[in-house]
Amino acid sequence: MQKLNIIPPRSGVAFILKKGERLKVVDIEGEQVSDLICYNLHDKAEYLSSGRTVDYAETIYLTTGNHFYSNRSNIMFDIIEDTVGKHDFLLTPCSAEMFRITYGETEPHRGCFGNLCEALEEFGITPDNIPTCFNIFMNVPVDGETGKVSVLPPMSKSGDFILLKARMDLIIGMTACSAGMSNNYSFKPIGYQISQD
């Protein structure tokens, strides 16, 4: 078992997760979101698809037992354990543009999007190829009548985690999210750990 790696507050990482390996994502302090995106290691035009995944799962609230599909409808990973059960797969990673448009900030942080751009650059992935991320621990309830989308503090507490199993060789990009509202207005680290079984 690998030691627990730490993603510092408001930053991101990229790494390879081989088929069959497991990735544990840990909310170390509680109420902290981690945006996750992935690509087929052997063909980066194949990426994690929110649309396909929600379509086949028939729910927007994905948890243990759900399969996560690519734009080509291949399974990229499964959730095999989840101590929270509430995550988001509707919203794009927070970005300088989002901070400007939604919050009116004049000198915005580059957000998860900027952090993912930098982290994924070494794998040849460009900003235009970063789609909607799976936002682990992000609490986004949707009003079933009006369709109104809200962003509430995560339900995760210190030590909560989600465990994924790769179904193909993957490039993973992952962050400790930089958006105030998503993290109950304090920016915290995220832990992750890769294991072989």
7 touches Zn ion (CB under 5 A)? no
112 vs 163 by CB, closer to Zn ion: 112
Residue whose CB is less far from Zn ion, 55 or 185 = 185
* AA letter at 47: Y
Among 26, 112, 125, 166, which residue interacts with Zn ion (rule: CB under 5 A)?
112
Report how far residue 166's alpha carbon sits from residue 168's, in angstroms, rounded to the nearest whole number: 6
Helices 111-120 and 96-103: crossing angle in degrees, nearest 10, is 170
Cβ closest to Zn ion, residue 62 vs residue 179: 179
SS3 133: coil
> Which of 164, 177 has the CB closer to Zn ion?
177
Examine residue 177 and tell whether it contacts Zn ion (CB under 5 A).
yes
Which is closer to Zn ion, CB of 151 or CB of 168? Answer: 151
d(CA 153, CA 138): 7
Q: Number of helices and strands (H, E) in the chain? A: 3, 11
**Does residue 94 touch Zn ion according to CB under 5 A?**
yes
DSSP state for residue 3 in the 8-state scheme: P
From the list 7-15, 68-76, 92-100, 154-162, the region that binds Zn ion by CB under 5 A is 92-100
119 binds Zn ion (CB under 5 A): no
By CB under 5 A, the count of residues binding Zn ion is 5
Q: Which of 179, 190, 191, 192 binds Zn ion (CB under 5 A)?
A: 179
User: Is the dihedral angle over the CA atoms 55, 56, 57, 62 positive or is it negative?
Assistant: negative
Q: What are phi and psi of 65, to 5 degrees?
A: 95, -15
Provide the residue count of the chain: 197
Task: Pick the piece of the chain touching Zn ion (CB under 5 A) from 18-26, 69-77, 161-169, 176-184.
Answer: 176-184
Q: Does 26 bind Zn ion (CB under 5 A)?
A: no
**Binding positions for Zn ion, rule: CB under 5 A:** 94, 112, 177-179
